[in-house]
């Protein structure tokens, strides 16, 4: 893909800002996520036409790893390395070794990497550890590639590395907007680069059912399609009479098998989500008997419908559990992992309260509240899946009314739900929206595509997924979530994912003592080069100015300006002209905006060169922010 001159110039400028002043001998490799231990030596290992790849014979997993490694080496160095099963005297070698006795607390995913001027030795207890070690080698090659002549160089280092958390996930919502099988594969590839190991596939919701279920063909014939709409989510008009539902798509079971196999080669487990009992409008549109009202609804296109259309399954109807039993039978036959995510979030209780059948059922069962009724439903679903040898995960709302006996809680409404679940002896995955929701603004809303709320890069980095006050053994891990209401394309999905997922990869993998925001910032420019080479779209909002506001006692507007990235100067104007390095420099004190001023313009600089986008903020818009 060709890059514009402007983009290339900005990338090179970032590199100059952060790395040009440090000599190569002193520069620490900008690896993400940060390894547990890295000791840097002198010299470099050079890959050339005499270098061989040593892989013990008789192991299919290692043979596959060697094939992937050779693909990367060929692209990055121009050399396809001959694969041998033992070291020979001629030339240098890169050795992949399984060492079951390796004393590494990372167990299956840890590795040790030794690079000298004459030899590269990567060893691990399991193939997964070798895979992650290869990702580190891959990064080291790319980080060293300042020119084509240097592209086959590796620095002399000794690395011991293993993950902090077992579950290091990213979620992609394919219900609100359908993403192709090929894009899902690319997304998985990008995850693997940064040592994520769980892909949470949000397959069903109110706006689309994306998985073929052969027992219920209308789930994809009807539930996978909605009327086309473009604009702002929740502002769309509802489906009109006789309007054709032409927007959507779904994955066949063969597609899903292909993606699962693709992910497994990259040591990524896929966890499917079938969201129940709420968020089920696509299923109800296909089979109206599943809801308590029994009304005919269309799949929602992004118009307001909550508490208007009944999107909840009927917990009082045995046909619902028979339906779910058949659906999950087909789901678990596809997905080999231990878990199925069953949602359980944002379930409106209005339609249950209005249903005489549901209310009678509650009385018969001795169920006092609708929260307890949801708990009854979740426990029934857990029993269905337990018979199929699967464990359930649910969003933290499944705590309401009482947890299912063996449920794992994914805590998104802050940390408290997860803390409570851990204290009850349940495993927890922390994914608080304030730190992990990738569909939120990355920078000032005036500079970013429309969405809601905000998650800055710094905020994604600076949090602890293992909170104090609980037994850490119950913390399974952490996860970033990309909901797609405002994410209609694959390129935009990448933009929202990166670089905040670079931050999350380090939060989930690296020891807490190795996580350092100042150091992480220095790694952005080199990593942006890697993302460019992989044709991954990403955001530079961390370099842009964010304006925050308040009113003083005299009701004058006060504007504060900041960037996520440290060490930048911010210049601004109040006379509608574009700022440069000769304009007023922001000194950290809120700017008092005089009456009659129309707008403030601000931009971040390094020296005399602009590094962020120009922010043009009308004062009327800034005043709204004070409310």
Any idea which residues carry the catalytic annotation? 205, 279, 346
Nearest CA-CA partner of 353 in 335, 378, 336, 370? 370
Q: Are 323 and 287 in contact (CB under 8 A)?
A: yes
DSSP letter for each residue of 162-199: --S-SEEEEEEE-SSS---HHHHHHHHHHHHHTT--EE
How many angstroms separate the Cα of 339 from the Cα of each of 213, 215, 320, 451?
19, 22, 21, 31
Question: d(Cα 584, Cα 506) in Å, to the nearest integer?
Answer: 37
The 8-class DSSP code of residue 473 comes to: G
Tokens representing 478 are: 């952490």
How many other CB atoms are found less than 10 A from the CB of residue 4?
A: 8
Interatomic CA distance for residues 412 and 418, integer angstroms? 8
User: Per the structure block, which two tokens stand in for 80?
Assistant: 């396809």
Q: Give the separation between CA 427 and CA 435, rounded to whole angstroms.
A: 20
Specify burial of residue 99 (Cβ count, 10 A radius: 0-12, 13-18, 19+): middle
DSSP state of 577: S
**Beta-bridge mates of residue 395:** 410
Contact (CB, 8 A) for 166 and 477: yes
- Residue 215's Cβ-count burial label (10 Å; 0-12, 13-18, 19+) is exposed
What is the per-residue DSSP string for 112-175? EEEE-SSEEEEEESSHHHHHHHHHHHHHHHHHH-SSGGGTTEEEEEEEEE--S-SEEEEEEE-S
In eight-state DSSP terms, residue 454 is: B
What Å distances lie between residue 199 and 478, 480, 611, CA to CA? 12, 10, 34
- Number of other residues whose CB lies within 10 A of the CB of residue 558: 16
> What are the structure tokens assigned to 344, written together?
């359980």
**What is the chain's percent helix, strand, coil content, to nearest 5?**
35, 25, 45
Phi, then psi, of 365 in degrees rounded to 5: -90, -5
């Amino acid at each position: 893909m060709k890059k514009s001159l402007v983009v290339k110039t900005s990338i090179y400028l970032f590199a100059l800002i952060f790395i040009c002043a440090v000599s190569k001998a002193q520069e620490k490799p900008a690896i993400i996520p940060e390894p547990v231990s890295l000791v840097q030596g002198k010299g470099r290992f050079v890959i050339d036409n005499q270098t061989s790849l040593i892989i013990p014979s008789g192991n299919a997993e290692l043979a596959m790893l060697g094939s992937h490694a050779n693909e990367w080496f060929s692209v990055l160095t121009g050399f396809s390395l001959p694969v041998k099963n033992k070291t020979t005297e001629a030339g240098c070698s890169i050795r992949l070794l399984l060492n079951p006795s390796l004393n590494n607390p990372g167990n299956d995913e840890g590795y040790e990497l030794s690079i000298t001027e004459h030899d590269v030795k990567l060893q691990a207890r399991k193939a997964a550890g070798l895979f992650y070690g290869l990702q580190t080698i891959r990064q080291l090659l790319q980080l060293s590639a300042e020119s084509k002549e240097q592209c086959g160089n590796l620095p002399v280092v000794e690395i011991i590395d293993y993950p902090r958390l077992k579950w290091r996930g990213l979620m992609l919502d394919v219900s609100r907007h359908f993403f192709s099988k090929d894009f899902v594969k690319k997304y998985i590839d990008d995850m693997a680069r940064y040592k994520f190991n769980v892909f949470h596939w949000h397959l069903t919701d109110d706006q689309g059912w994306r998985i073929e279920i052969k027992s219920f063909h209308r789930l994809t014939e009807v539930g996978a399609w909605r009327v086309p709409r473009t604009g702002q989510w929740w502002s769309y008009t509802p489906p009109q009479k006789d309007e054709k539902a032409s927007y959507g798509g779904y994955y066949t079971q063969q597609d899903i098998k292909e993606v699962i196999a693709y992910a497994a080669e990259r040591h990524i487990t896929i966890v499917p989500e079938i969201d129940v009992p709420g968020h089920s409008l696509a299923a109800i549109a296909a089979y109206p008997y599943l809801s308590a009202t029994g009304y005919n609804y269309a799949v929602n296109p992004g118009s307001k419908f909550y508490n208007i259309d009944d999107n909840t399954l009927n917990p009082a109807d045995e046909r619902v559990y028979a339906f779910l039993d058949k659906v999950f039978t087909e789901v678990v036959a596809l997905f080999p992992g231990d878990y199925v995510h069953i949602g359980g979030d944002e379930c409106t209780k209005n339609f249950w309260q209005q249903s005489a059948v549901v209310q009678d059922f509650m009385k018969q069962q001795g169920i006092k509240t609708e929260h307890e009724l949801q708990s009854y439903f979740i426990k029934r679903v857990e029993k269905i899946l337990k018979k199929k040898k699967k464990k359930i995960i649910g969003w933290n709302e499944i705590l309401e009314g009482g947890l299912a006996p063996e449920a794992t809680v994914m805590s998104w409404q802050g940390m408290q739900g997860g803390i409570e679940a851990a204290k009850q002896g349940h495993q927890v995955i922390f994914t608080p929206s304030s730190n992990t929701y990738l569909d939120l603004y990355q920078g000032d809303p005036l500079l970013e595509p429309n969405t809601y709320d905000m998650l800055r890069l710094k905020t994604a980095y600076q949090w602890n997924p293992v909170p104090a006050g609980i037994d850490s053994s119950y913390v399974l891990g952490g996860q970033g979530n990309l909901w797609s209401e405002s994410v209609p394309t694959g390129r935009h999905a990448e933009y929202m994912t990166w670089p905040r997922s670079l931050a999350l990869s380090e939060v989930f993998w690296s020891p807490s003592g190795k996580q350092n925001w100042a150091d992480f910032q220095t790694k952005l420019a080199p990593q942006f080069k890697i993302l460019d080479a992989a044709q991954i779209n990403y955001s530079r909002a961390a370099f842009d100015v964010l304006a925050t506001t308040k009113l003083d006692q005299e009701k004058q507007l006060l504007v504060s300006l900041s960037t996520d990235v440290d060490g930048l100067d911010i210049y601004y104007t109040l006379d509608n002209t574009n700022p440069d390095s000769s304009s007023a420099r922001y000194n950290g004190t809120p700017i008092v905006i005089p009456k009659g001023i129309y707008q403030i313009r601000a931009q971040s600089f390094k020296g005399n060169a602009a590094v962020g986008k120009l922010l043009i903020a009308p004062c009327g818009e800034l005043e709204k922010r004070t409310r």
